[in-house]
Amino acid sequence: MSKKLNIAIAGIAGRMGRQLLQAALDAGHTVSGGSEAPGSPLLGNDIGPLVGQPPTGTVVSNSPDTAAQSASVWIDFTIPAVTLKSLQALREQGVGAVVIGTTGFTPEQEAEIEAFANDLAIVKAGNFSLGVNLLQALVRQAASRLGTEWDIEILETHHSRKVDAPSGTALMLGDAAAEGRGTPLSELRAPPYDGAQAKRNSGEIGFSVRRSGGVIGDHDVTFGSDMEMLTLSHRALDRAVFATGAIKAAEWAVGRAPGLYGLDHVLGLAPSTLQ
């Protein structure tokens, strides 16, 4: 096992927060802090029972400063405004390592995160699974080999409580396809089909979104020509896959120089691994 860490988890009672808590304990780390929203009925409660464990001595706090107090790394799967506010607190507290899984940041918020990375080692990924990381490389490769006469469509399905759309993972895959085509996604991204003038221009990358029940996260990237179709797919079967990846990222981030890193750095997979 790697060095035992003191981990603080933002949004610790959320769907991902609980998975992160379980994965951190399973990996032998100490969870030294956990934050929840002001007004949460869990504030002041011990974190252990959140995952059916005995009390640990750490309680849920509504203050990132308190939650981060003795942490060496902060893991944040919450909402964009909350993540950004926590980064401010972490810089003041001197917690040098951060893992961000939150999705749905605006371009301005992404720029703020980049600025924080001058002082903090931040690992940020829209998806912490190994399979999606590999899928990104495959999509980049396929897009670079297939001409613009091939339509690229990205379809994602998630549970009906998801806030942002398209998912962070769909946008990561769109970025990979756009990189393969040698043009920024901002120039190729097509809005969803809707209305009387919905036809897409050649070379654009289209996004479709489904929300249904309890789906954890399905992504399909389809390349279609007039004569054949190729679909690359990924399905998450358990949220634990993201939590395990995030704990690996936390272990990797502690003691790193400030900077903005991705899961490919953690896994040692350069984006150009597949040629």
Catalytic residues: 158, 162
- Whichever of 13 and 146 has its CB closer to ligand NAD, that residue is 13
- Whichever of 82 and 215 has its CB closer to ligand NAD, that residue is 82
Q: In what order do the strands lie in the sheet with 218-224?
A: 189-190, 205-211, 151-158, 218-224, 229-235
Residues 70-99 that bind ligand NAD (CB under 6 A): 77-79, 82
Q: Does 14 bind ligand NAD (CB under 6 A)?
A: yes
Q: Does 252 bind ligand NAD (CB under 6 A)?
A: no
CB atoms within 10 A of CB 19: 22
- Provide the mask over 230-249, with x wherever binding to ligand NAD is found by CB under 6 A and - wherever it is not: ------------x-------
CA distance 256 to 88: 19
Q: Does 165 bind ligand NAD (CB under 6 A)?
A: no
CA distance 35 to 50: 13
| Shortest separation between residue 208's beta carbon and ligand NAD, angstroms | 18
**Candidate residues 22, 56, 58, 102; the one interacting with ligand NAD per rule CB under 6 A:** 102
Q: Closest residue to ligand NAD, Cβ-based? A: 14
| Shortest separation between residue 161's beta carbon and ligand NAD, angstroms | 7
Q: Which runs of E-coded beta strand occur in the chain?
A: 6-10, 30-35, 60-61, 73-76, 97-100, 121-124, 151-158, 189-190, 205-211, 218-224, 229-235, 259-261
Q: For residues 179 and 252, is the Cβ–Cβ distance under 8 A? A: no
Q: Which residues of 125-134 are buried (b: 16+ CB within 10 A; e: fewer)?
A: bbbbbebbbb
- Provide the mask over 22-41, with x wherever binding to ligand NAD is found by CB under 6 A and - wherever it is not: -------------xxx--x-
Q: Does 180 bind ligand NAD (CB under 6 A)?
A: no
Contacting positions for ligand NAD (CB under 6 A): 10-11, 13-17, 35-37, 40, 77-79, 82, 101-104, 125-128, 168, 242
